[in-house]
Amino acid sequence: MADTVENKQLLHLVFGGELENLKGVKFSDLDALDIVGIYPNYASAHVAWKSKAQQTVDNAHMRYFIVHLHRLLDPED
């Protein structure tokens, strides 16, 4: 049974942590990564990302990311 565009799950992961420096994407402590959650679409992931990013705005080394899990799970799609 083929999935249609309307009912496909486009999963997105939101996570973040403190970077070692601002020129790269190497985390200073992998054990301290903040896994915010997995969301069913980009819009809801963006809301969560924005909320976490705003909470940590005073720490220049703290970064949050949105990972398109659906692209990793089905790269041919």
Digit-coded pLDDT (tens) for 35-54: 999 999 999 999 999 999 99
pTM of the model: 0.83
Asked if 28 and 73 touch (Cβ cutoff 8 Å), the reply is no
CA distances from 39 to 59, 60, 74 (A): 25, 25, 16
Q: Which two tokens stand for residue 58?
A: 């005073």
30 pLDDT exceeds 50?
A: yes
